[in-house]
Amino acid sequence: MDRLRHGGGRSTVSRRVILEALMHIGDAHITAEQLTDRIHQQHPDINESTVYRTLERFEELGITCHAHLGHGPAVWYLTDRQRRYLSCSRCGDVIDADPALFESLVAAVEDRYGFTVDFGHFAVTGMCSNCAPG
């Protein structure tokens, strides 16, 4: 909220509620729709488009970010730690992987192409151990 005010934004009921809901899910992640549903339990008057707009505003300020885990809706979470999602394209299971594994690839790509990888934005898809053939 400090960061919001600092960035020229206003502190409103909707924004406080959305931020609290995000803090409440802790280490997990949530879609905009699920978040809206939860918020509606206590605040049925907060509109889904406000949730979208707020999440986007928060993202500009570096408070939240979103990732795409597969073909469905994006998921949102607080930017409190790095996320490296492995998403099974068959069963939809999501593994929250160790970022350290990705470091050498990030460095190699930077080196070779001058490209700064952001693994947080799109999940790495594939098949989990249960779904992989053989």
Partner DNA sequence: CTACGTGCAAAGTGTTTGCAGCTCC
Partner DNA sequence: GGAGCTGCAAACACTTTGCACGTAG
> Is the distance from CB of 120 to CB of 84 less than 8 angstroms?
yes
51: helix, coil or strand?
A: helix
**Using CA atoms, how far apart are residues 80 and 83, in angstroms rounded to an integer?**
9
Classify strands 64-67 and 85-88 as parallel, antiparallel or unpaired: unpaired
User: Site residues for DNA, window 31-90 (CB under 7 A)?
Assistant: 31-33, 45-50, 52-54, 56-57, 72-74
Q: How far is the CB of 111 from a copy of itself (least distance, A)?
A: 9
**Using CA atoms, how far apart are residues 36 and 52, in angstroms rounded to an integer?**
9
State the binding partner of 14 from a copy of itself, DNA, none, CB within 5 to 8 A by kind.
DNA
Nearby residues of 40 by Cβ (< 8 Å), 6 or more positions away: 46
User: Site residues for a copy of itself, window 29-88 (CB under 8 A)?
Assistant: 68, 86, 88
Rg of the chain over Cα atoms, rounded to whole angstroms, equals 17
Binding mask 88-107 for a copy of itself (x = CB under 8 A): xx-----x-xx--xx-xx--
Looking at beta carbons only, is 13 or 124 nearer to a copy of itself? Answer: 124
Could you list the residues that contact DNA (CB under 7 A)?
A: 5, 8-15, 31-33, 45-50, 52-54, 56-57, 72-74
Q: Tell me which residues touch a copy of itself (CB under 8 A).
A: 68, 86, 88-89, 95, 97-98, 101-102, 104-105, 108-109, 112-119, 121-129, 132
